[in-house]
């Protein structure tokens, strides 16, 4: 089983939509584009942070169809919960794990610039303050010049 990929236009950016039967056994790592081996880690489900890849469950993710065919949930293989947003201030939201509620703040699309766009907020996943170090939080921030701190790669692990 694999992803069916379609391209759509959302808010003047091209978005790749992950569709199809992803299969319950397909696990992915969400890797930063910085080439330093850092991935999203949900060991602490109250705040998703960057860690070096170790292959353990808090770093492995599934993608499940969202409320329509163009959206997906990012599901932790560790907790079974989905990535959600926690407001820090008017300009930034951190990522944390939460039970699935169907909220658009829990649903995402993957754009052609390697950005992961949150539908509820309309902002890209973002390495906080562009600080590519262990334990730095990950959140969402307004799309800004397609910088490397807003680019992520999905890497299949099984």
In tens, the pLDDT along 128-142 reads 999 999 999 999 999
In tens, the pLDDT along 41-96 reads 999 999 999 999 999 999 999 999 998 888 999 999 999 999 999 999 999 999 99
- Token representation of residue 124: 């890209």
For residue 144, the model assigns a pLDDT of: 80
In terms of Cβ atoms closer than 10 Å to its own Cβ (0-12, 13-18, 19+), residue 152 is: buried
* Its pTM surpasses 0.75: yes
Torsion angles phi and psi, residue 58, rounded to 5: -65, -10
Torsion angles phi and psi, residue 44, rounded to 5: -100, 100
Are 117 and 28 in contact by the 8 Å Cβ rule? The answer is: no
Task: Please give the mean pLDDT across all residues of the chain.
Answer: 87
For residue 146, the model assigns a pLDDT of: 80
Lowest mean pLDDT among 8-12, 104-108, 135-139: 8-12
Domain ranges across the chain? 4-156
Second-level CATH architecture of 4-156: Trefoil (2.80)
Pick from 123, 96, 86: nearest CA to 108? 123
- d(CA 107, CA 2) in angstroms, rounded, equals 19
For residue 19, the model assigns a pLDDT of: 41
For residue 3, the model assigns a pLDDT of: 41
Pick from 1, 38, 42: nearest CA to 19? 1
For residue 9, the model assigns a pLDDT of: 37
């Amino acid at each position: 089983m694999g992803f069916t990929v379609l391209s759509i236009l959302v808010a003047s950016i091209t978005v790749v939509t992950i569709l199809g039967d992803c299969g319950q056994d397909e696990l992915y790592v969400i890797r930063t584009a910085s080439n330093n081996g850092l991935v999203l880690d949900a060991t602490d489900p109250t705040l998703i942070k960057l860690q070096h890849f170790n292959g353990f469950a808090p770093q492995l993710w599934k993608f499940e169809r969202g409320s329509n065919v163009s959206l997906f949930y990012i599901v932790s293989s560790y907790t079974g919960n989905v990535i959600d947003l926690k407001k820090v201030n008017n300009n930034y939201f951190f990522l944390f794990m939460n039970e699935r509620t169907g909220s658009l703040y829990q649903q995402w699309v993957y754009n052609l610039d390697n950005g992961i766009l949150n539908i509820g907020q309309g902002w890209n996943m973002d390495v906080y303050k562009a600080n590519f170090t262990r334990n730095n939080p990950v959140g969402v921030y307004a799309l800004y010049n397609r910088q490397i701190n807003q680019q992520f790669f999905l890497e299949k692990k099984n």
